[in-house]
Chain A
Amino acid sequence: MKKYFIIPTVIIISILSWVGCTDFPIDEDGLLITTRAQCYVSNFELLGVDYQTVRTASAVIDTTAQTINVNVFYGTDLKNLWPQFSLVTDAKLDPKITSFTDFSDLANPKQWTVISGNRKVRKTYTVFVTVQQKP
């Protein structure tokens, strides 16, 4: 009688172990390393200290030139802006954005690197901020 329980249990555990061992590996951030090689920014948002957008229009993302051009309202406090990147599936951003970022040095635009899902492709995007001018 016992063998009816022991044999299926051993089989189930073996299947689970095998499935577990063939899963995708994870990187240093605990994120899955997948087979995807795509590496680009799909959307970009810029928020002020009140967590409201400061863009006057949608950001222009050039995935070939790896640039993001964004125009912000007159009077925007450039020292305290929170950029938000939307990336292609499985990609990640370096450095990570954990607080408000200072964009006030317009001559030295900020850069972020997008890393593909397979962690083999890296593309550095430059964010150019322009401020709406008073006529």
Chain B
Amino acid sequence: MLHKYYSLILVLLLAVFITACQEEEYSLPTAESGLQNDCIKRTLGPNMVGMNIEFAYAMALLPSEGKIVSAQVEATIAGATGTYLENKSYYTNSSGQDVGIAIGDASVTTGTKTVVTFTKDTCAATLRYYYRIPEEARGKSVDFIFSAKASNGQTVSYEMGSYNIAKMDMKLDLLAKDGAACYISITDMAVYDAAGAAANAAKIDLVYLHRLISGITFSHALVSPANTEYLPGITLPSGVSNSSKEIKAWNLRDQQLARLQYGIFIDDVDFQQIDFTNAPNYAINMKAESGLWVETTDGKYRAYIFVNKVDDTKKEMTLSIKRLQVK
């Protein structure tokens, strides 16, 4: 009885080995008939007002079946000025550079639709679409329908989305300088000098300073105006007295703020979830590529400040801000 089972198992194993060793011959894929299309989203991370969402839309049909006459993108919310569909199809050359070849006229945007009319006799193209996110899309979601038309009358379309548009704002590369433009407003996402700070006293949330004090590590600091202990040698402009809450962060190099290789993105939800209970109102010894979560005195705004660069000699800090209104 046992021998019977062993024989059966051996036969099965043999069959498995034979199947595993059998080579599959490669054959060139056959192009499908008719107009085909495909699309990918090229941008990553949260979609923010004023920024682009980029797509690559590919369309093709067999040369014998005709040529492409037009490509169109329709968004559910009209894009802001700067929205366009490329009239060039790109290929990558031997040096790794993308080289564009014009296939038609510059795109025409009318309302929610952006159209490129082909002028070249081509049966395949990949066009890039840049959707500049408008203010009216803030906090909403947007969908896209990509479509192409061929000379033989065939049409094809491809739906992309929905994509949520973040509520937060972003400001890049603000320069703060000790003793000059050193008053930072989260409300305005701007840096003011003393005169500007006096004129916008209620909006000043942080003061930037750089100090070298022997025996302690102070260096670059972002301190609430209310905490004068950490503002040595600073005479605040009249009325500047906010006490914002601050939480230091390290290794949180948001890709959109830092523009470095790290795939980290801060989104609306991060601002909503962070807990500022017991947070101090100062942050000293800030280094390049460090960060700072901030909540304004009135709790209206929460922000993440990324320190792009510090300069000990010039006593400067380059910072970028993402900010969300939470109240």
Note all chain B residues with C-beta closer than 8 A to A134: 213, 215-216
Contact B215–A132 (Cβ < 8 Å): yes
Distance in Å from the Cβ of B251 to the closest Cβ of chain A? 8
- How many chain B residues sit at the interface, stated as a range, is 20 to 34
Q: In the complex, what distance in Å separates the CA atom of A80 from the CA atom of B246?
A: 12
Interface size on A, residues (CB 8 A): 17
Q: In the complex, what distance in Å separates the CA atom of A51 from the CA atom of B249?
A: 8
Distance in Å from the Cβ of B212 to the closest Cβ of chain A? 12
Q: Is the interface of B mostly helix, strand, loop or mixed?
A: loop
Tell me the residues in window 171-205 of chain B with beta carbons closer than 8 Å to chain A beta carbons.
Answer: none
Q: In this assembly, does A135 line the interface, its C-beta being within 8 Å of a C-beta of chain B?
A: yes
Contact A77–B285 (Cβ < 8 Å): no
Q: In this assembly, does A17 line the interface, its C-beta being within 8 Å of a C-beta of chain B?
A: no
Contact A50–B217 (Cβ < 8 Å): no
Note all chain A residues with C-beta closer than 8 A to B2: 1
Note all chain A residues with C-beta closer than 8 A to B282: 75
Type the 1/0 row for B265-288, where 1 means its CB is closer than 8 Å to any CB of A. Answer: 000000000000011101011000
Whose C-beta in chain B lies nearest to the C-beta of A1?
A: B2
Contact B250–A50 (Cβ < 8 Å): yes
Q: In the complex, what distance in Å separates the CA atom of A6 from the CA atom of B219?
A: 76
Given contacts A75-B285, A102-B278, A49 and B247 within 8 Å (CB-CB): yes
Contact A73–B215 (Cβ < 8 Å): no
Type the 1/0 row for A36-50, where 1 means its CB is closer than 8 Å to any CB of B. Answer: 000000000000111
Q: In the complex, what distance in Å separates the CA atom of A102 from the CA atom of B280?
A: 12
Note all chain B residues with C-beta closer than 8 A to A133: 215-216
Contact A75–B278 (Cβ < 8 Å): no
Q: In this assembly, does B27 line the interface, its C-beta being within 8 Å of a C-beta of chain A?
A: no
Q: In the complex, what distance in Å separates the CA atom of A132 from the CA atom of B230?
A: 14
Distance in Å from the Cβ of A100 to the closest Cβ of chain B? 8
Q: In the complex, what distance in Å separates the CA atom of A135 from the CA atom of B2?
A: 89
Contact A135–B214 (Cβ < 8 Å): yes
Q: In the complex, what distance in Å separates the CA atom of A102 from the CA atom of B278?
A: 9
Distance in Å from the Cβ of B233 to the closest Cβ of chain A? 13
Type the 1/0 row for B214-234, where 1 means its CB is closer than 8 Å to any CB of A. Answer: 111110000000000010000
Task: A75-B230, A77-B279 are known; give 9 further A-B pairs, CB within 8 A.
Answer: A1-B2, A49-B248, A50-B250, A51-B251, A74-B217, A102-B278, A133-B216, A134-B213, A135-B216
